[in-house]
Chains A and B, each alone.
Chain A
Amino acid sequence: MASGELVQGLVAGRLSSEAYDENFSDLHAPLDAHEALVAADRCYFCYDAPCVTACPTDIDIPLFIRQIATGTADAAGMTIFSQNIMGGMCARVCPTETLCEETCVREVAEGKPVQIGQLQRFATDHLMAQSAHPFSRAAETGRRIAVVGAGPAGLACAHRLAMHGHSVVVYDANAKAGGLNEYGIASYKTVDSFAKREVAWLLEIGGITIEHDKKLGRDLNLTDLTERFDAVFLAIGLAGVNALGASGQGKAGVRDAVDFIAELRQAETYSQVPVGRDVVVIGGGMTAVDAAVQAKLLGALNVTLVYRRSRDRMNASRFEQDLAAAKGVRIITNAAPVEISGNGAVEAISFEYMDDDLTPMGEVFTLSADQVLTAIGQTLGATELPSITRGRIAVSPDGRTSVANVWAGGDCTGLGDDLTVTAVAQGRDAAEDIHRALSA
């Protein structure tokens, strides 16, 4: 064991550079051509296939797999991208084990699904490696649309609008486009700057300009946008975070998991990112798992993920939970934080056991902690928006908001389940609706 792992407190460079490289390499190595053919051969080309029904973007999975099997990976890529322009990222980050692969008839029959996600990556990588962007724009319509937020929903919307010949200005609060693909997803799911490369590839269609460091409510306001543009698409994500209901959360070393992941994703080298020796992550979703696993990969000695309900209720899939366990993350369920203690900096955190209805059981335990990462849900964190329901922008199935000519999609709406793939579907569908509205 490297001595670096034993040092108490927030410390960078706990591991050797070789260990960082190893830890943050591709979670699943891509299939080579032979592996892809073997995997594709297992697809039965089901009728009205359950995998397609399970895909939020309705990718024609049997068709693209057959196209791989018949040696036309680029045609397979077109089948994917025509439904989901971020099919490359989705191939890497989709929880396929709870979507397409869960419903694959071979998963149901044999417990071994066709490797749909990996095959999608094979096809999309193949087509993205070609010199030309495969889509072209319709004739310029003269219509201008503002998209607020350059995450998956915003970019999918912008691309589809550009295809229809509209001009799109995308505003984003950050210095880089990509949203959570760039700032919020575990590094080992998107190696080699894939998020950045995907955005560049997507923009090759033309007709889209991105303006960075433009935040709604700070640098932009909705009324002004609706006056200057023919339509507005809000894809602002969830900028706010929920507060931890425990005392002592102001202590040093307590931090939002989203920020921790963003710092990691933007770091030039992993050795620059400080991490505790005894890390406690609070939450049960993908962000909690991504933060916990990456804390472990950065060299934390003990990482404990604590969730207030039972394991079945965690938003992170069973695959993600098992991944965390395999990487050495300890998962404690049915416990909610009570108090963070320490003299200035966090030293320990105590929890109380709860049942699934969140009724406290009266039993408290304490974990040593020099870093606490909270991943207990995010909030809109913006004002002057269209009507809100249950904390998100209220939208019709086509993404229409309460304000005329304003659509919304992605995590800032309550439409989907906060996945990249649902955000892409909403962006695409809103673009089609905007196009219909502008063509009427």
Chain B
Amino acid sequence: MANLQADFIGIKSPNPFWLASAPPTDKEYNVRRAFEAGWGGVVWKTLGLDPHIVNVNGPRYGAIWGADRRLLGLNNIELITDRPLEVNLQEIKSVKRDYPDRAMVVSLMVPCEEDPWKFILGKVEDTGADGVELNFGCPHGMSERGMGSAVGQVPEYIEMVTRWVKSHTRMPVIVKLTPNIADIRKPAAAANAGGADAVSLINTINSITSVNLDHFAPEPMIGNKGAHGGYCGPAVKPIALNMVAEISRTPELQGLPISGIGGVTTWRDAAEFITLGAGNVQVCTAAMTYGFKIVQEMISGLSQYMDEKSFTSVDQLIGRAVPNISDWQHLNLNYVAKAKINQDLCIQCGRCYAACEDTSHQAISMSNDRVFAVKDDECVACNLCVNVCPVEACITLEPMAAGAVDPRTGKVVDPTYANWTTHPNNPAAMAAAE
């Protein structure tokens, strides 16, 4: 069985599955349950200065659902911890003492001044915690007070605060980034410049999940008003994966460890983050939806996958997919594929036909007895039929062998690699050739 031990910036945990700073890590009671369930570590719900903040007394969460009411996305308007600082610190100390093998990182958010950071860091060090995470991400409530994403959206502030924090603590420092910006590489570079040991991303995304059409107000509705919240859960995973990848493949940020966050729900999601360069993952929505027990599936699944691939440690998986992240202009234009429908698996629903006939390339035929087949002379291999088919692996994209003739273009499939930069239709390429 594969060894899932993880060492993230010197913080060791029995597996790479941490709970993100969020409601599940707000209290000793929850965190003890999490550790009993098998979580490798937690990032304690963000601490702030006293007097502690308050939360609304109405609904804090909104959601969207898929079929069978499967929760796909969650948003929240909860703020940082609403309990006194001392209570949290004592509980952190108590839990860490009883679970020395688990990672205990403490999330922090105080005003953008050096003294409050210095003050709170000393307090956290006394708990025996393994590290701190700077919450520059929360996009609601705290950002109105100049904290959270209000800091995360200004690289100069990130660098400044990170530098203060590094100068006032011996603990490893993770900087948590907000996705509510145009280019994630800028805040990551700022954290790096400020001396951060790692970045974690993504925090939640500005969102309104739905509008109440009787009261004409965004949900979740407090009385008759709603505010935007932070969006998370499976729906945000693609955005998070891209942002992690953007950092991983930026040469100036090589070696900056990443803690991957955003919609991790299964072992597979975690493995995907790790192959894109994350050293571990943080989970929240999946635990909030299904309970702490899901970590068992994450552990067994990642372990089975690593065994099947002959990986013996998580380190061997980190960044495995990074060399294959490319810019569009470097994709091979001589690669030709065609969709293929497996008639044994086809249930004849016709969704592929509707998608292709109405919205794409009219490359699927339909017979009177509902047999659907790909017309190779029209198929551009767009993959839409694959994605709308309700049966996994019923439609596949099959690469054409070099030397074969593409019936759509009449051209022989060229075995050599050629991309847009040298394509004759590219004015820049033509200019370069002249």
Contacts and interface: CB of A to CB of B under 8 A. Distances in A.
Nearest to B299: A75
Given A34-B391, A41-B68, A42-B68, A75 B293 contact: no
Given A63-B296, A63-B297, A72 B304 contact: yes
A47 B33 CA distance: 14
Contact of A71 (B268, B290, B345): B268
A70 B266 contact: yes
Interface string B276-295: 00000000000000110110
B345 A70 contact: no
B305 interface: yes
Contacts of B305: 72
Contacts of B294: 45, 66
Contact of B293 (A42, A63, A70): A63
B300 interface: yes
A75 B304 contact: yes
A72 B68 contact: no
Contacts of B290: 45
B268 A34 contact: no
A415 B179 CA distance: 59
B267 interface: yes
B301 interface: yes
Contacts of B268: 70-71
Contact of B300 (A33, A41, A47, A79): A79
Contacts of A205: none
Interface in B228-267: 266-267
Interface string A58-86: 00101100110011101100110000000
Contacts of A74: 304
B205 to A, nearest CB: 25
Contacts of B296: 60, 63
B300 A67 contact: yes
Contacts of B293: 45, 47, 62-63
Contacts of A75: 297, 300-301, 303-304
A262 interface: no
For chain B, the bracket of interface size reads 20 to 34
Contacts of A34: 345, 391-394
Contacts of B393: 34
A66 B305 CA distance: 15
Contacts, number: 48
A70 B297 contact: yes
A71 B298 CA distance: 11
Given A45-B294, A47-B291, A79-B300, A70 B392 contact: no
**B interface, by DSSP: helix, strand, loop or mixed?**
helix
Contacts of A70: 266-268, 297, 301
A78 B303 CA distance: 12
A387 B56 CA distance: 67
A63 B290 CA distance: 11
A72 B291 contact: no
Contacts of A41: 68, 70
A109 B297 CA distance: 26
Contacts of B392: 33-34, 37
A414 to B, nearest CB: 35
Given A63-B293, A66-B297, A72 B267 contact: yes
A66 B289 CA distance: 14
A19 to B, nearest CB: 27
Contacts of A62: 293
A228 to B, nearest CB: 37
B345 A78 contact: no
A67 B294 CA distance: 10
A78 B300 contact: yes
A42 B70 CA distance: 9
A78 B1 CA distance: 12
A352 to B, nearest CB: 53
B68 A67 contact: no
A66 B290 CA distance: 11
B139 to A, nearest CB: 29
Interface string A262-302: 00000000000000000000000000000000000000000
A72 B300 contact: yes
Nearest to A71: B268
Interface in A17-42: 33-34, 37, 41-42
Interface in B42-79: 68, 70
19 contacts: A33-B392, A34-B393, A41-B70, A42-B68, A47-B293, A60-B296, A62-B293, A66-B266, A67-B301, A70-B267, A70-B268, A72-B267, A72-B297, A72-B301, A72-B304, A72-B305, A74-B304, A75-B300, A78-B300
Interface of B: 68, 70, 266-268, 290-291, 293-294, 296-297, 300-301, 303-305, 345, 391-394
Given A67-B297, A72-B297, 4 more contacts: A33-B392, A63-B293, A70-B267, A71-B268
Closest 4 CB pairs of A and B: A75-B300, A70-B266, A72-B301, A66-B297
